[in-house]
Amino acid sequence: MMSFEDFVKSGSVGVDLNIAIGQIQSTLPGATVHWIDAAEKSYGVFFQGIEILFWGGVLYSVQFEIANMEKLQIGQYTIDATTTCSAFKQMLDEMGLFFSEREYHGQKVLALQSGVKLYFDGSSLCFLTAMKTYT
């Protein structure tokens, strides 16, 4: 249903997330909703380890954090907490996905054309999270 591969390639998760809070359970069965600020209509939705944040009732960000997911799949590649930045870059190159690279707050960041940013630990250079903001 929600594909990490689609997320990395296109910034989409395969599900329309521009939904009202009342539609979350029917769209994402088993998802949990946690209010951040009810007055601002800000809340987080957690679904199969994926964190989806809404601000003002509008989709704000989607995050695949490896600590919550253990393993992710992109085609034939399995990504886990031991996947290094260099291994991930090789996967992206083999898939023909372009990216820029920088450091941010001590972490290595690969920014993809899809708008997704991949974050790696500054010391081990192992994968931490993939995130996209929609503002």
Q: Which residue has the tokens 């939904």?
A: 19
- Chain centre distance of CA 8: 8
In this prediction, the residues of the chain whose per-residue pLDDT falls under 50 are: none
The pTM (predicted TM-score) of the whole model is 0.90
Contacts of 70 (CB under 8 A, 6+ apart): 49, 80, 81
DSSP 8-state symbol, 43? E
List, for residues 98-134, the tens digit of each pLDDT value: 999 999 999 999 999 999 999 999 999 999 999 999 8
| Dihedral sign, Cα of residue 40, residue 25, residue 135, residue 51 | positive
Residue 16 CB neighbours (<10 A): 10
Burial string for 66-101 (b: 16+ CB within 10 Å, else e) reads beebeebebeebebeeebebeebbebbeeeebebee
Phi-psi region of 74 (alpha: psi -120 to 50; beta: other; left: phi over 0): beta
Q: Name the average pLDDT for the chain.
A: 90
CB 75 within 8 A of CB 82: no
Placement of tokens 């996967």 in the chain? 91
DSSP code for 40 = G
Position 104 scores a pLDDT of 92
